[in-house]
A and B are shown apart, each in its own frame.
Chain A
Amino acid sequence: ASSQGRLENFFSIK
């Protein structure tokens, strides 16, 4: 099974 990633895991918060 795969889990949905969240964007903060890839992009930094400005």
Chain B
Amino acid sequence: FEARLTQASLIKKILEAIKDLVTDANFDCSPEGLSLQAMDSSHVSLVSMVLHAQGFEMFRCQRAVSLGINLASLTKILKCAGNDDSITLRADEKGDKAEFVFESQSQDRLSEFELKLMDIDSEHLGIPDTKYSAIVEMPSSEYRRICSDLGVMGDTVRISVSKESVKFQVDGDIGKGSVCLHPSSVVDKPTEVVKISLEEPVDMIFSIRYLNYFAKAAPLSDTVTLSLSKDFPLQIEFKFGEQMGYLRYYLAPKID
């Protein structure tokens, strides 16, 4: 397996977005691309990442291989890559180590690292194709701000979506608060748009702590999509630009 990405910053950002949620994970390499699926230790949330092969500058994978990686170790290695460096990842069939090569844009600096791999027994979950009742698209910076603002007031947030608005409500020890967003009527910048597609109104409760973990993915994408259906896990998606891939989180709802 060998793959090369022009910008190391993409992998660095992906890692930042998942390392607080997941300790070890298998990076599954196949001719289609690089993917990862992992649950947090309490099995409340799930991370699903896909980088399509065509999003790489070079991608070669003769046979599917899983690279078991400790994310704290990978973070240490990726700290040695400049944001604008290209990154080449290599692994052989034995799958006991992975090689990382970082090259500066001017090609005058080349650094190489080898990471020991681990055997990870991971349960893969089958996520059914779902027609969600409500889909909300909003700026990822707005999502991050709401989670961080409401997180200081309480542990859970009630998300209510109607045709007119999406409302985030918190009820905590010191009091309560809410933020309500209305779909944008004037579209100045596409990245500042709030869009709501609704089959039926939804009203659900989620842990703010996890929503805050997911907000670490905000640097990956200008917009985030929240998909909700009653009594079903929330899906939060950050897309890495057209055709490149995505990072999705799933969070089980709080149930009365």
Interface residues of A (CB under 8 A from B): 1-14
Contacts and interface: CB of A to CB of B under 8 A. Distances in A.
A6 B252 contact: yes
Contact of B125 (A1, A4, A13): A13
Interface string B160-204: 000000000000000000000000000000000000000000000
B209 to A, nearest CB: 11
A7 B255 contact: no
Given A13-B123, A14-B126, A7 B232 contact: no
B254 interface: yes
B171 to A, nearest CB: 12
A3 B254 CA distance: 5
Place the interface of chain B in its size category.
20 to 34
Contacts, number: 56
B247 interface: no
Contacts of B254: 2-5
Contacts of B66: none
Contact of A10 (B156, B205, B207, B252): B252
Interface string B113-134: 0000000000111111000000
Given A4-B254, A14-B125, 10 more contacts: A2-B255, A5-B254, A5-B255, A6-B252, A7-B44, A7-B252, A10-B252, A11-B127, A12-B126, A13-B124
A13 B127 CA distance: 9
A8 B205 contact: no
Contact of B39 (A3, A4, A7): A7
B124 A7 contact: no
Contact of A7 (B205, B207, B233, B256): B233
A9 to B, nearest CB: 7
Nearest to A5: B252
Nearest to B37: A14
B202 to A, nearest CB: 15
